Structure 1
Amino acid sequence: MSLRRPPILLLDTVLVGFALADAWSHVGTGEQPAMAGSLLGALALTLRRRLPLTTFVLTLPTALVTDAAVAPMAALYTLSSLSRHRLLLGGCALIYAVTDFLPWPWSSMDASEMAQTNNLFHLSYALATAAAPVFLGQLVQARRELSLRLADISEAREHERLLTAQNVLAKERAQLAREMHDVVSHQVSLIAVQAGALQVGGQDAETRQAAATIRRLSVQTLEELRHMVSVLRASGSRPTELTPQPSLADLECLVDASGIEAKLETDLPDELPPTVQRAVYRTVQEALTNVRKHAPGATATVRINHRGGALCTTITNTAPTRPAFALPSAHHGLVGLAQRAEILGGTVTSGPTDQGGYELCLELPVERNR
């Protein structure tokens, strides 16, 4: 876990205080020029981020008239961490070293004393002291630029990974679209053709009615398949909706065409959100399909009402009157309904009834999904 950096204002305040303490330890109370230069250099540090070169110039009197080093070194470090001009930085370091080396007042300078060995060591020390903040500032600048470059590289790699994933997904969707068109659509088309032939050539009215229902459902399935294939093939382009989307206005037709004896009871508010309407429609559709598959001969009741800001949909069926045929099932229907309800902030519950039937209940908040 990385530590949070202190606020910039706090850092600057601490630095100014440290510079004042350094000046106070090197300047006597009666030294007016030294006191003025020290105060100027310490207070100038408040400008070091906005005007680094000006700040450095204002701290030079501190190095000239006192032995305090915090203010000029901090200003030189800041200038070095923000500037890319190597010649400027070298010149500023040399100026600071010479300023720090020269005695104050200048009238006390003696050429013979300047050439002494101790003074040469003093000059070397001043040059090293001036070079240190420059090198440190350049190192910090290089580290900052490296961090930005690494962040850019990471962002580029993440973008590349997303593009690769989208490309793989697009290929999978295209393959799925081909399979749906070449296999599923072909077989459903054959079912529709055979049902049409049976509808025309059937010997009794019940057979013709059943064939008409099969043909109508097959045609409807083909239309939905075509829409889904279009959506799958549109992957990577503009967003495409699965149209037309069902609504509560289609519930009566859904119940009538379910192939079972079902009753619809509704008490609905006006202008329900489309997402809620689709969720209710798909829930009723799945429930009636399960009744037809797993409870032959059973009757069903669909109740939809609005209470307490929530829309409650309950589908209840009676016990089956004859054995069910073994039909293929992936058992994903109820899972999909629960996931859809969770996205909308609702819940799905289901289970057997005391009379041997089954009940499925969907509850969705209305105001949240407007």
Structure 2
Amino acid sequence: MTRPLALWQRVPAPVADLVVVAAAAVDVWLNLWDDSRLGVALAALGCAALAFRRRFPLGVFLFTLPVALTQDVAVAPLVALFTLAERSRNRALLAVCVATSAVASSTPWPLGGITEFGRAMTLIAFVYSLATAAAPVLFGQLLQTQRDLSRRLTEIEEARAHERALHAQAVLARERAQLAREMHDVVSHQVSLIAVQAGALQVAAKDPEAKEAARTIRSLSVTTLDELRTMVTLLRASGGRATELTPQPTLADLNKLVQSSGTQAQLKGALPPTVGTPAQRALYRAVQEALTNVRKHAPGATASVELWQDGKDIGVTVTNTPPTRPSLPLPGSQQGLVGLRERAEILHGTLESGPTAEGGYRVRLRIPLSTD
């Protein structure tokens, strides 16, 4: 069943619409009940309306009701119901449409013939029409749910891959930081002692060869210390691939960050060129964390990133709209905003975060310009 459906979905939309209209027209031609001008005109209008079912599903369904009332047909109203159910999430509206379609299909035409048809037969026809109308609605809702699940599985896989990449970078950064501490605290200290002892031996030695050897040892020790300091600096400045994390990001990289965030976001405002490097890094990390949270916890939301200056304070505000789909239960360290708040406190600034009145979320970082 899935394979024919997949093949049908590959058919271009105009071709599929033409096939549907043709099938509805054949259905009317084979089961024409009311051959008056009004009946034929209503049938033609209902069949032609199916060509616009993707853009106006509810309107097209309403156009097929006269066809179901005046003719003994099934294709036009059922196709309209299926299209409406595939695109609408309003269950109450779908229930009303099913009942309305069943009434139109089971009511004898012309209306004066209801007494001849019999109330019992009319009721039986209504129950049969109700079950028939419910089938395409259930099938349309099933396809809608299948698409939602497929989209959510894709989002979960992307989010997990992103989390794995971030975790790998965090582990590498911790290992490099630990290695830098060991080199600074242990290796550098011992090499310094070697240099000091070699200097003392150079002063105290009487033998020229011993004095020259001590001088060489001291010179090599000093050179090794310089190289160790350079290596420690590089290790502390990097936590992953050098092309990504060295040098540290600045405000000039914000536009690229917003465009590659995976969220529909807009960057507004500007800051003076006197903003120092620590403040620029803090602002960049605030935007990065906020947009990551939008992608993880507010699927389908849009975001606004605004740089601003208020007197002697500068900052950034990231605001997102409410999600259009339920959020996904994704893993996380729950330390992103905590780290941003600590970074803000180091710069004598503040970080505010919380939900908005419209149902979205806002992150606002404020830093004194004078601290840089």
State the TM bucket, normalised to the shorter chain.
0.5 to 0.7
Q: Is the 8 A contact 1:77 1:137 kept in 2?
A: yes
1:255-270 equivalent positions in 2, closer than 5 A = none
Q: 1:10 to 1:204 in 2, by over 3 A?
A: farther
* Deviation of 1:93 (Å): 0.9
Q: Deviations along 1:217-256, whole A, 9 cap, x unmatched? A: 54343233223323333456993459xxxxxxxxxxxxxx
Q: Is the 8 A contact 1:16 1:43 kept in 2?
A: yes
Pair 1:166 & 2:169 matched: yes
2:21 maps to which of 16, 21, 24:
16
TM-score when normalising by structure 2 = 0.54
Show the counterpart of 1:114.
118
* Paired AA for residue 21 in structure 2: V
SS at match of 1:110: helix
Q: Is the 8 A contact 2:108 2:114 kept in 1?
A: no
1:264-343 equivalent positions in 2, closer than 5 A = none
Q: 1:228 to 1:99 in 2, by over 3 A?
A: same
Pair 1:124 & 2:124 matched: no
Show the counterpart of 1:36.
41
TM-score when normalising by structure 1 = 0.54
In structure 2, C-alpha distance between the alignment counterparts of 1:241 and 1:160, rounded to whole Å: 23
* Deviation of 1:212 (Å): 5.9
Gapped regions of structure 2 (runs ≥ 5): 249-372
Q: 1:124 to 1:186 in 2, by over 3 A?
A: same
Gapped regions of structure 1 (runs ≥ 5): 243-370
Show the counterpart of 2:105.
100
Q: 1:22 to 1:193 in 2, by over 3 A?
A: farther
In structure 2, C-alpha distance between the alignment counterparts of 1:197 and 1:43, rounded to whole Å: 102
Q: 1:87 to 1:114 in 2, by over 3 A?
A: farther
**Structure number, greater radius of gyration:** 1
In structure 2, C-alpha distance between the alignment counterparts of 1:241 and 1:214, rounded to whole Å: 35
In structure 1, C-alpha distance between the alignment counterparts of 2:175 and 2:184, rounded to whole Å: 14
Q: Is the 8 A contact 1:231 1:241 kept in 2?
A: no
Q: Deviations along 1:16-43, whole A, 9 cap, x unmatched? A: 3332332333238965434322332222
Q: 1:63 to 1:28 in 2, by over 3 A?
A: closer
Q: 1:186 to 1:132 in 2, by over 3 A?
A: same
Q: Is the 8 A contact 1:27 1:66 kept in 2?
A: yes
In structure 1, C-alpha distance between the alignment counterparts of 2:40 and 2:214, rounded to whole Å: 107
In structure 2, C-alpha distance between the alignment counterparts of 1:173 and 1:13, rounded to whole Å: 64
The count of corresponding residues between Structure 1 and Structure 2 is 238
Show the counterpart of 1:144.
147
1:228 maps to which of 231, 234, 240:
231
In structure 1, C-alpha distance between the alignment counterparts of 2:96 and 2:151, rounded to whole Å: 28
Pair 1:66 & 2:71 matched: yes
1:326-365 equivalent positions in 2, closer than 5 A = none
Pair 1:49 & 2:49 matched: no
Q: 1:198 to 1:30 in 2, by over 3 A?
A: same
Q: Is the 8 A contact 2:107 2:114 kept in 1?
A: no
SS at match of 1:149: helix
Pair 1:88 & 2:93 matched: yes
In structure 1, C-alpha distance between the alignment counterparts of 2:111 and 2:214, rounded to whole Å: 115
In structure 2, C-alpha distance between the alignment counterparts of 1:17 and 1:192, rounded to whole Å: 94
Q: 1:110 to 1:51 in 2, by over 3 A?
A: closer
In structure 1, C-alpha distance between the alignment counterparts of 2:217 and 2:37, rounded to whole Å: 106
Q: 1:112 to 1:35 in 2, by over 3 A?
A: closer
SS at match of 1:84: coil
* Paired AA for residue 169 in structure 1: L
Q: Deviations along 1:142-170, whole A, 9 cap, x unmatched? A: 33333333334334433433343333223
* Paired AA for residue 245 in structure 2: P
Identity of aligned residues (%): 53
Q: 1:113 to 1:28 in 2, by over 3 A?
A: closer
Q: Is the 8 A contact 2:172 2:239 kept in 1?
A: no
Q: 1:194 to 1:72 in 2, by over 3 A?
A: same
Q: 1:46 to 1:220 in 2, by over 3 A?
A: farther
